[in-house]
Structure 1
Amino acid sequence: MATHLHRLLLLFLPSLLLFRRGTLPPPPPSPSAAVYPVVLVPGNTCSQLEARLTDAYEPPPESPQCGAGSNERGRWFRLWRNATAMDDPAVAPCLSDQLRVVYDPAARDFRNVPGVETRVLGFGSTAGFLADTEANNREHARADQPDLYLYGPAIHRDLCMRRLVEALQQAGYRDGETLFGAPYDFRQAPAARGQPCRAFGRFTRRLRALVERASRENGEKPVVLVSHSQGGYFALEFLNRSPLSWRRKYVKHYVMASTGPGGLLLPLRNLASTPGEAVEAPDALVALPSPVVFGAGTPPLVVTRDRNYTASDMSEFLTAIGVPPLGVTLYETRALPVQLGFRAPLVPTTCVNGVGLSTMKQLVYWDGNFSETPEVVYGDGDGLLPLASILALDTVIGSDPRQEYYKSIKLADTSHAGVVSDAAALKRVVDEILWSTPM
Structure 2
Amino acid sequence: MAPQLRLVLAILLIYLIGTPTSVLASLHPVVLVPGNTCGQLDARLTDEYEPPGPGCGVLKQGRGWFRLWENFTALQEDPSLFRCYADQLRLVYDPVAGDYRNVPGVETRVVSIGTTRSFRFDDPARKNVCMEALVEALEGVGYSEGVNLFGAPYDFRYAPAAPGLPSRVFSEFSSRLKLLIKVTSRRNGNKPVILVTHSIGGLFSMEFLDRTPLSWRRRFIKHLVMLCLGVGGSPLNMWPLASKTLAANPSSLQASVLTYGNRSFASMFSLLPSPNVYGNTPLVITRDRSYSAQDMADYLAAAGFSENVVARYRTRALPVTLGLRAPLVPMTSINGIGVPTVDKLVFWDGNFCGMPQLVNGDGDGQINVQTVLALQGLIGDDPEQPYFKSILIPNTTHKGMISDESALKRVVNEILRASAS
- Give 1:26-41 correspondences, 5 Å limit: 34-41=26-33
- Give 1:249-398 correspondences, 5 Å limit: 249-274=219-244, 280-296=264-280, 299-398=281-380
Q: Which residue of 2 aligns with 1:125?
A: 115
Letter in 1 for 2:32: L
With 99-108 and 394-403 compared, the bigger mean Cα shift is at: 394-403
**Is the 2:39–2:119 contact (alpha carbons within 8 Å) kept by the matching residues of 1?**
yes
Q: 1:295 to 1:126 in 2, by over 3 A?
A: same
1:103 and 2:93 are equivalent in the alignment: yes
**Is the 1:122–1:128 contact (alpha carbons within 8 Å) kept by the matching residues of 2?**
yes
**Is the 2:28–2:419 contact (alpha carbons within 8 Å) kept by the matching residues of 1?**
no
- Return the TM-score normalized by structure 2: 0.87
1:59 maps to which of 51, 56, 78: 51
- Listed one character per residue, the Cα deviations across residues 328-360 of structure 1 (whole Å, up to 9, x for unaligned) are 111111110111012210000000111000111
Letter in 2 for 1:127: R
* Secondary structure of the corresponding residue to residue 66 of structure 1: coil
2:41 maps to which of 49, 60, 63: 49
**Is the 2:29–2:191 contact (alpha carbons within 8 Å) kept by the matching residues of 1?**
yes
Q: 1:183 to 1:76 in 2, by over 3 A?
A: same
With 315-324 and 105-114 compared, the bigger mean Cα shift is at: 315-324
CA-CA distance at 1:279 after TM superposition: 5.9
Instruction: Return 5+ residue gaps in structure 1 as ranges.
Output: 1-29, 135-153
* Secondary structure of the corresponding residue to residue 376 of structure 1: strand
1:75 and 2:69 are equivalent in the alignment: no
Q: How many equivalent pairs are there?
A: 385
**Is the 1:132–1:157 contact (alpha carbons within 8 Å) kept by the matching residues of 2?**
no
Distance 2:67 2:311 in 1: 33
**Is the 1:102–1:279 contact (alpha carbons within 8 Å) kept by the matching residues of 2?**
no
- Listed one character per residue, the Cα deviations across residues 267-291 of structure 1 (whole Å, up to 9, x for unaligned) are 2112111288876111111111111
* Secondary structure of the corresponding residue to residue 284 of structure 1: helix
CA-CA distance at 1:133 after TM superposition: 4.0
Distance 1:94 1:215 in 2: 42
Letter in 1 for 2:130: C
Q: 1:72 to 1:171 in 2, by over 3 A?
A: farther
**Is the 1:285–1:335 contact (alpha carbons within 8 Å) kept by the matching residues of 2?**
yes
Q: Which residue of 1 aligns with 2:399?
A: 417
With 371-380 and 343-352 compared, the bigger mean Cα shift is at: 371-380
Distance 2:137 2:25 in 1: 16
Q: CA RMSD in A?
A: 2.1
Q: Which residue of 2 aligns with 1:22?
A: none
Distance 1:91 1:340 in 2: 39
Instruction: Identify which of structures 1 and 2 has the higher relative contact order when contacts are C-alpha pairs closer than 8 Å and 6+ apart.
Output: 1
Instruction: Return 5+ residue gaps in structure 2 as ranges.
Output: 1-21, 248-260
2:165 maps to which of 195, 214, 219: 195
Q: 1:415 to 1:86 in 2, by over 3 A?
A: farther
Distance 2:236 2:87 in 1: 22
**Is the 1:259–1:353 contact (alpha carbons within 8 Å) kept by the matching residues of 2?**
yes
Higher helix share: 2
**Is the 2:286–2:347 contact (alpha carbons within 8 Å) kept by the matching residues of 1?**
yes
Q: Which residue of 1 aligns with 2:153?
A: 183
